[in-house]
Amino acid sequence: MLFKTTLVIWSRFDPEGMEMEDLAFSVSQDESYCSGCATEEIENPRKDIDFDGNSFFRPEDSTNEEESVQHTD
């Protein structure tokens, strides 16, 4: 299971091509505004349209199955 958080950020500039960290930093510097945040629990990330299969969530020691993302279709 993973948690998916969606932020709504408004800016006066086009953020196309910006790193997410830079966009978040622009909010902390009052250059952009975050008007909303929603978090949801996702039981099976592989079935979510936004999940890109990133290996960030897989443990280095793959013997611990409980910590790894379950890949069932």
DSSP secondary structure letters along 1-65: -EEEEEEEEEESS--TT--HHHHHHHHHTTSEEEEEEEEEEES-GGGSTT----GGGS-SSTT-T
Instruction: State pTM to two decimals.
Output: 0.66
**pLDDT tens across the length of the chain (73 residues):** 899 999 999 999 999 999 999 999 999 999 999 999 999 999 999 899 999 988 887 765 444 444 445 545 4
Domains of the chain by residue range: 2-57
- What DSSP character marks residue 70? P
